[in-house]
Amino acid sequence: MNREKAHLLKLSVSVAFISISIIAFQLSLIHILSIIQWYHFAYMIISVALLGFGAAGTFISLFRSRMLKNIDSLLPVFMLISGLFMALSVSVSQSELFRFDSYKLFFDFSNIWKLVATYLVFFLPFFFGALSIGLIFVKYVKNIGTFYFANMFGSGIGGLAAVMLMWFFMPEKLSVFISFLAAFAGLLIIPRKLRSEFSIIISFVIAVLVYLYINPGNLHLSEYKSLSKTLNLPGSKIIREESSPYGLIDVVQSSHIRYAPGLSIKFPGIVSLDNAVFNNGNWYGALVPFKKDSTDYFNYTTEYFPYLISKRKDILILGAGTGRQIISAIKSNASTITAVEQNKAVTKLLMNELAGEADSIFNREEVLPQNISPRTYLLKTPAKFDLISLPVIGSFGGSSGLFALQEQYDLTKEAFSEMLGRLNNDGSITISTWIDYPYRKPLKILSTVTEMHYDRGIKNTDEFVAAIKNWNTITFAIKRTPFNNEEIKIIRDFCRMMNFDPVILPGIKADEREKFNKLQDKSFYLLIDRILASPEEREKLYSEYPFNIKPATDDKPYFSQFLRWGSISRLTEFFGNQSVPFFEVGYILLYLTFIQIVILALIFIILPLFKLGWKTGNKFWALVYFSGLGIGYMFIEIIFIQRFTLYFGNVIYAAAAVVSLMLISSGFGSLVSQKLQAKPNRLVGIIFIIIISLIIHTIFLSFLLKTTIVFTLPIKIVFTTLLIAPSAFLMGMPFPLGLRLLSERNDNQVPWAWGINGLFSVISVVLATIIAIELGFVWVMILASGAYALSLFINIKKT
Amino acid sequence: MNLVTGEKKMRLILSFLMSTIVLVYSCSAQDDKYIVDREAMVNRQIEDRGINNPATLQSMKTVPRDKFVPPDLIERAYDDRPLPIGYGQTISQPYIVAYMTAAIDPDIEYKVLEIGTGSGYQAAVLSEIVSEVYTIEIIKELFNSASERLSRLGYENVICKNADGYYGWEEYAPFDAIIVTAAAEYIPPPLIEQLKEGGKMIIPVGSPYLNQTLILVEKEGDDLTTTSLLPVRFVPFTRGK
């Protein structure tokens, strides 16, 4: 192999390793920030940090010739610095000077500067890593296909690697471990003649990395997270801690933990819990010791009434968590209890290491644990049940809209329809929620059930649904057949005994609804009656009510998203402008993130134009072409993640598999593109085929996935590869071909174009989420095709 | 000689008196620094929002909220918001404190139990109105600082305990009213037991920085009723029909 080829190979390997480290670091950062802050703040911080890619393109544009002149020494330096910052960033962000608590932003805006500093701290590793990749792309643009392959392949491996490594490394060590990969990438390409000059830098970087690996420091959780608050209670301590891709699990022992949603005020005993499980610092569930007297309180909760109205032999629990609902099922002498829980790490703990603390309820003969997403289980199983139980929605005290962006496939209209189809004749679905104010969750559950019934030909939902409330919780029972008189009497008697009030019951009278638990705002009952009244009345309510209470669907599976922009002024009038943002913090943060990154992206795009000139060259073509590619690719990635999450029944592995498969396939596409001539008509042809494949996906993908969901995992993996790989292969070609084409015309615009692609990729992730929430995933797919169409048309113009 | 000594003595006494007067004046001037803020807080944040219980208003005007917040937050003591006091806890928004106080309809004869002392501010507000306040705090550090603060500020009718409030304070039960400041998903049975016949219990529901609603529990014989209260600045969401 001649020298030049050997050099290119070494550079490719280096690009692969820096790419592995960048993606793995990104995932580990999401993991860490979700633990110490809340997920949406993690999302915001990382979105801004990822602009490091675009900023690198801008930087190279502005200092191109100087950087290319010193590329041999700069490349390893950038990679080493990237590695160094990866290792340091977490510790620095946790230091007294920089540490901020996102919760305090609610009241103390002076913390904003700490947030900005945090952005910068996490921006630097991505910036320097991207600088090295960008410089290589610019210098060796004629071999862009090879280097882009290395970049994509490395990124794909990085995603898989990060998910695997999360099982073995605690979060604070993971980011440091990953930084060694970045450092290795730099070490690999230190020019022989500069080795002695580099020896000090190398020694320093390695020493710091080793030190930080041995002493990573502790992660400081927000003092307002459930775990922090629980650890403040006397005698509380963490008895077990485990890391997994599902999050950081902490098991806490404390005699002061109280958790009994929907408990009657008439319960005379003591609720004793000793242990609780937290995931990423958030409450996950209590470990309820299964001793007869300690679990008697279950019979005093609103959740118990579905057990009273009929014998429950075969029970399905969707979202079994730590097993609280399993205990109710055991106490009712169920023959089989299918406990579906997506978090494999928690179930594994409860069946093994914590079996004692959980009284081995998961190991009982009648309990059948299933580690799969609840919705996927429903799609796969032909079994029927006497009771299908969902977990309590939301958290006590509200989650301040922090679930607004979370896809909740178990709470869509289609999900309820599938659940109803899985019931025996006398079976019920049961679901509870906290009664929030302003009223939202109970109304949305009811509208979802009512519309689901209507779609199935059931026009009188009030005959098939019962709901009872106490002072803070409401529990619904949804049947396949109408409630009979005996069942109605049982429910009324239960309410009388427990100081509960029926809210929905066939033949209910107005004064029954508030015998024991009054609401000052009685519009709650009016709103319920309007939902039950008729489709026309329901539609009218949807448009009048300031919050979105329309059912979530599989296309827009955002049950907890309630805010309507059009109602902001009315809400401000009622609640004061200080309160409004706090209804839907997650949703507001999403838009705030979008605004921040668009503004920054515009700055990064515009800055180089001061040097490159505003009018000359192929700038308009480059802007449209590369932004279209960036948007199209990321939108497709998000659609595939969404579709295959349900298919595989596990969001973590589905996302890792889909992203890695796409990146690796695109990498091979890029490699093959190296053999092709970079011509506009070639770009047109390839993009045209991509658009056709996307249209085929739009039409057939859902059907294909639904049909094959029952297959075994190996077959599903093969099928997924066949579905994704060909399109992704093609999608890997336009970018390197476009860069080569641009370099033939305006070489100095290459870094700018690369930066644009990077910036729009980051913007696209946030934009796709916004579009999915506002319009649905179908529109994300349509707009993805539209983005590729833009890139196609701009090349037709060029031919 | 005696005259000179006598003059000297007079001068000394006068100087001492003058210094004392200046010192006392400057101390009160320091205290007075927040009187205006306190008055404004009561007028704008509480009275204007419909709370008109005279005892509550007077108490809120009297209790120096600035003495109950962390030193670095003194300037924000009278803001219309809760403030952090450490250990994941907050001193409640002034409006909520006033609302909860008025909601139990406090009387000079009352014996009140508070679960969750926190900074001690709510206890201090209650102590200005009722006969006895018993307050329980589970976090030792908060208990220590609150009890020292209450004692230093002269709230002698407030008795503090470091314990789990779940069990109430049986020794001094029954109580005319119980204020639970720590969010609880259910009402502990011991607290119901220790509430007097005809007594009221109030619990805030919701996250302190976000929107809170208040639950009023009333005990009449064997009957217990709850009412989910709206802070009056929230207009009910009633629609036509």
Distance from CA of A35 to the nearest CA of B (A): 16
Q: What is the mean pLDDT of residues A461-487?
A: 95
Percent of chain A with pLDDT over 90: 61
Give the bridge partners for A339, in sequence order: A317, A369
Per-residue pLDDT reduced to its tens digit, A74-101: 999 999 999 999 999 999 999 888 888 8
Instruction: Give the pLDDT confidence score for residue B239 in this predicted structure.
Output: 35
Per-residue pLDDT reduced to its tens digit, A611-623: 777 766 778 899 9
Which of B138, B166, B229 lies nearest to residue A520, judging by beta carbons? B229
Instruction: Give the pLDDT confidence score for residue B221 in this predicted structure.
Output: 82
Which of B87, B207, B228 lies nearest to residue A520, judging by beta carbons? B228
Give domain status of residue B205, yes or no: yes
- Per-residue confidence band for A122, with pLDDT thresholds at 50, 70 and 90: very high
- A267 backbone dihedrals φ, ψ, rounded to 5°: -65, 125
User: CA-to-CA distance for B86 and B88, rounded, in angstroms?
Assistant: 5
**Token pair of A429 as six digits:** 């679905």
Q: Are A442 and A320 in contact (CB under 8 A)?
A: no
Instruction: Give the pLDDT confidence score for residue A583 in this predicted structure.
Output: 63
Cα B60 vs. chain centroid, distance in angstroms?
8
Do B88 and A232 make contact, defined as CB atoms within 8 angstroms?
yes
Instruction: Work out whether the CA dihedral A25, A26, A27, A33 comes out positive or negative.
Output: positive
Residues in chain B: 241
Q: What is the mean pLDDT of residues B107-127?
A: 97
Do B205 and A544 make contact, defined as CB atoms within 8 angstroms?
no
Q: Is the bond into B174 cis (omega within 30 degrees of 0)?
A: yes
Interface test with chain B among A435, A472, A529, by most B beta carbons within 10 Å: A472
Least confident of A115-124, A573-582, B227-236: A573-582
Give domain status of residue B65, yes or no: no
Q: Which residues of A touch B166 (CB under 8 A)?
A: 256, 258
Q: Which residues of A touch B215 (CB under 8 A)?
A: 471-472
Give the bridge partners for B2, in sequence order: none
Query: Using the 8-state DSSP alphabet, how is residue B235 labeled?
Result: P
Instruction: Give the pLDDT confidence score for residue B223 in this predicted structure.
Output: 85
Do A517 and B228 make contact, defined as CB atoms within 8 angstroms?
yes
Instruction: Return residues 202-241 of A near B (CB < 8 Å).
Output: 223-225, 228-229, 232-234
Q: DSSP string spanning A290-348?
A: --TGGGGGGGGBGGGHHHHSS---EEEEES-TTSHHHHHHHHTT-SEEEEE-S-HHHHH
User: CA-to-CA distance for A787 and A598, rounded, in angstroms?
Assistant: 17
Residue A290 has pLDDT above 80, yes or no: no
Residue A336 has pLDDT above 90, yes or no: yes
Q: What is the mean pLDDT of residues B109-120?
A: 96
Q: What domain range includes position B188?
A: 79-232
Helix (H, G, I), strand (E, B) or coil at B173: coil
- A627 backbone dihedrals φ, ψ, rounded to 5°: -70, -40
Residue A592 has pLDDT above 90, yes or no: no
Q: Which residues of A touch B237 (CB under 8 A)?
A: 438-439, 521, 523, 527, 574
User: CA-to-CA distance for A407 and A639, rounded, in angstroms?
Assistant: 13
ipTM surpassing 0.90, yes or no? no
Instruction: Give the pLDDT confidence score for residue A334 in this predicted structure.
Output: 93
Q: DSSP string spanning A218-247?
A: -----TTSHHHHHHTSTT-EEEEEEEETTE
Least confident of A49-58, A62-71, A292-301, A387-396: A292-301
What is the Cα Rg of chain B in Å? Answer: 22
Do B189 and A234 make contact, defined as CB atoms within 8 angstroms?
no
Query: Using the 8-state DSSP alphabet, how is residue B69 labeled?
Result: S
Closest CA to A471 of B72, B186, B189: B186
- Per-residue confidence band for A223, with pLDDT thresholds at 50, 70 and 90: confident
Helix (H, G, I), strand (E, B) or coil at A748: helix
- Per-residue confidence band for B1, with pLDDT thresholds at 50, 70 and 90: very low
Q: Which residues of A touch B211 (CB under 8 A)?
A: 398, 437, 575, 579, 582-583
Query: Using the 8-state DSSP alphabet, how is residue B228 labeled?
Result: E
User: CA-to-CA distance for A471 and A381, rounded, in angstroms?
Assistant: 37
Do A256 and B213 make contact, defined as CB atoms within 8 angstroms?
no
Q: Are A617 and A749 in contact (CB under 8 A)?
A: yes
Instruction: Return residues 479-518 of A near B (CB < 8 Å).
Output: 499, 516-518
Give domain status of residue B100, yes or no: yes
Identity of the residue numbered A621: W
Instruction: Return residues 522-541 of A near B (CB < 8 Å).
Output: 522-523, 526-527, 530, 541
Distance from CA of A268 to the nearest CA of B (A): 6
Give domain status of residue B111, yes or no: yes
Instruction: Work out whether the CA dihedral B54, B56, B57, B59 comes out positive or negative.
Output: positive
A100 touching B, CB under 8 A?
A: no
Interface test with chain A among B140, B145, B186, by most A beta carbons within 10 Å: B186
Question: How many domains are there within chain B?
Answer: 1
Q: Which residues of B touch A521 (CB under 8 A)?
A: 228, 230, 234, 236-238
Instruction: Give the pLDDT confidence score for residue B180 in this predicted structure.
Output: 92
Residue B234 has pLDDT above 80, yes or no: no
Do A260 and B185 make contact, defined as CB atoms within 8 angstroms?
yes
Burial of B188 (0-12, 13-18, 19+ CB in 10 A): buried
Do B234 and A574 make contact, defined as CB atoms within 8 angstroms?
yes
Identity of the residue numbered B199: G
The residue of chain B with its CA nearest to that of A229 is B88
Instruction: Return residues 348-407 of A near B (CB < 8 Å).
Output: 396-398, 400
| E strand or H helix at B218 | strand B213-220
Instruction: Return residues 26-65 of A near B (CB < 8 Å).
Output: none
**Token pair of B153 as six digits:** 């500020």
User: CA-to-CA distance for A66 and A651, rounded, in angstroms?
Assistant: 45
Average pLDDT, chain B: 86
- B177 backbone dihedrals φ, ψ, rounded to 5°: -150, 150
Distance from CA of A522 to the nearest CA of B (A): 7
The residue of chain B with its CA nearest to that of A261 is B185
Per-residue pLDDT reduced to its tens digit, B127-147: 999 999 999 999 999 999 999
**Reading across the β-sheet that carries A473-479, which strands appear in turn?**
A367-370, A336-340, A314-318, A385-389, A423-434, A473-479, A465-469, A501-504
Percent of chain B with pLDDT over 90: 62
Instruction: Give the pLDDT confidence score for residue A180 in this predicted structure.
Output: 97
**Token pair of A134 as six digits:** 């960008």
Identity of the residue numbered A165: L
Residue A125 has pLDDT above 80, yes or no: yes
Do B205 and A397 make contact, defined as CB atoms within 8 angstroms?
yes
Closest CA to A471 of B224, B112, B234: B224
Q: Which residues of A touch B45 (CB under 8 A)?
A: none
Instruction: Give the pLDDT confidence score for residue A116 in this predicted structure.
Output: 87
Interface test with chain A among B211, B215, B225, by most A beta carbons within 10 Å: B211
Q: Are A437 and A492 in contact (CB under 8 A)?
A: no
State the pairing for strand pair A314-318/A275-279.
unpaired
pTM: 0.90
Give domain status of residue B42, yes or no: no
CB contacts < 8 A, A to B, total 146
Instruction: Give the pLDDT confidence score for residue A455 in this predicted structure.
Output: 95
Q: Are A57 and A600 in contact (CB under 8 A)?
A: no
Q: Are A633 and A663 in contact (CB under 8 A)?
A: no
Identity of the residue numbered B38: R
Closest CA to A751 of A145, A142, A136, A154: A136
Instruction: List Cβ neighbours of A432 (8 Å cut-off, separation of 6 or more).
Output: A261, A262, A302, A303, A390, A392, A393, A473, A474, A475, A476
Give domain status of residue B83, yes or no: yes
Instruction: List Cβ neighbours of A55 (8 Å cut-off, separation of 6 or more).
Output: A123, A127, A130, A604, A755
- Per-residue confidence band for A194, with pLDDT thresholds at 50, 70 and 90: confident
Q: Are A449 and A417 in contact (CB under 8 A)?
A: no
Per-residue pLDDT reduced to its tens digit, B78-106: 998 888 898 888 898 899 899 999 999 99
Instruction: List Cβ neighbours of B178 (8 Å cut-off, separation of 6 or more).
Output: B112, B113, B114, B115, B168, B191, B194, B195, B199, B200, B201, B202
Residue A403 has pLDDT above 70, yes or no: no
Q: Which residues of A touch B164 (CB under 8 A)?
A: 234, 256
- Per-residue confidence band for A693, with pLDDT thresholds at 50, 70 and 90: very high
Closest CA to A249 of A171, A319, A189: A171
Residues in chain A: 799
| E strand or H helix at B113 | strand B111-115
State the pairing for strand pair A367-370/A336-340.
parallel
Least confident of A66-70, A561-565, A781-785: A561-565
User: CA-to-CA distance for A96 and A343, rounded, in angstroms?
Assistant: 34
Per-residue pLDDT reduced to its tens digit, A11-55: 999 999 999 999 999 999 988 988 988 777 777 888 888 899 889
- Per-residue confidence band for A442, with pLDDT thresholds at 50, 70 and 90: very high
Give domain status of residue B66, yes or no: no
- Per-residue confidence band for A650, with pLDDT thresholds at 50, 70 and 90: confident
Distance from CA of A498 to the nearest CA of B (A): 10
Do A224 and B184 make contact, defined as CB atoms within 8 angstroms?
no
Do A516 and B226 make contact, defined as CB atoms within 8 angstroms?
yes
Q: At what angle do helices A713-731 and A680-708 cross, to 10 degrees?
A: 160
Residue B3 has pLDDT above 70, yes or no: no
Least confident of A333-342, A660-669, A674-683: A674-683
Distance from CA of A389 to the nearest CA of B (A): 20
Per-residue pLDDT reduced to its tens digit, A481-501: 999 999 999 999 999 999 999
Average pLDDT, chain A: 90
- Per-residue confidence band for A1, with pLDDT thresholds at 50, 70 and 90: low
Distance from CA of B159 to the nearest CA of A (A): 20
Residue B27 has pLDDT above 70, yes or no: no
Q: Are A750 and A138 in contact (CB under 8 A)?
A: yes
Residue A557 has pLDDT above 70, yes or no: yes
Residue A396 has pLDDT above 70, yes or no: no
User: CA-to-CA distance for B168 and B201, rounded, in angstroms?
Assistant: 12
- Beta-sheet strands, E only, within A344-392: 367-370, 385-389
- Per-residue confidence band for B212, with pLDDT thresholds at 50, 70 and 90: low
* Residues of B acting as catalytic residues: 92
The enclosing domain of B202 has a CATH number of 3.40.50.150
Q: What is the mean pLDDT of residues A773-777?
A: 90
Do A523 and B236 make contact, defined as CB atoms within 8 angstroms?
yes
User: CA-to-CA distance for B161 and A296, rounded, in angstroms?
Assistant: 30
Instruction: Give the pLDDT confidence score for residue A420 in this predicted structure.
Output: 97
Give domain status of residue B6, yes or no: no
User: CA-to-CA distance for A281 and A247, rounded, in angstroms?
Assistant: 9
Per-residue pLDDT reduced to its tens digit, B43-53: 999 999 889 99
Instruction: Give the pLDDT confidence score for residue A478 in this predicted structure.
Output: 97
Q: Locate tokens 């109030």: which residue?
A: B202
Distance from CA of A260 to the nearest CA of B (A): 7
C-alpha to C-alpha distances, A612 to A62, A728, B149, nearest whole angstrom = 8, 33, 66
Percent of chain A with pLDDT over 70: 95
Interface test with chain A among B48, B87, B145, B210, by most A beta carbons within 10 Å: B210
Percent of chain B with pLDDT over 70: 85
Q: DSSP string spanning A643-675?
A: HHHHHHT-HHHHHHHHHHHHHHHHHHHHHHHTT
Q: DSSP string spanning A172-211?
A: HHHHHHHHHHHHHHHHHT--GGGHHHHHHHHHHHHHHHHH
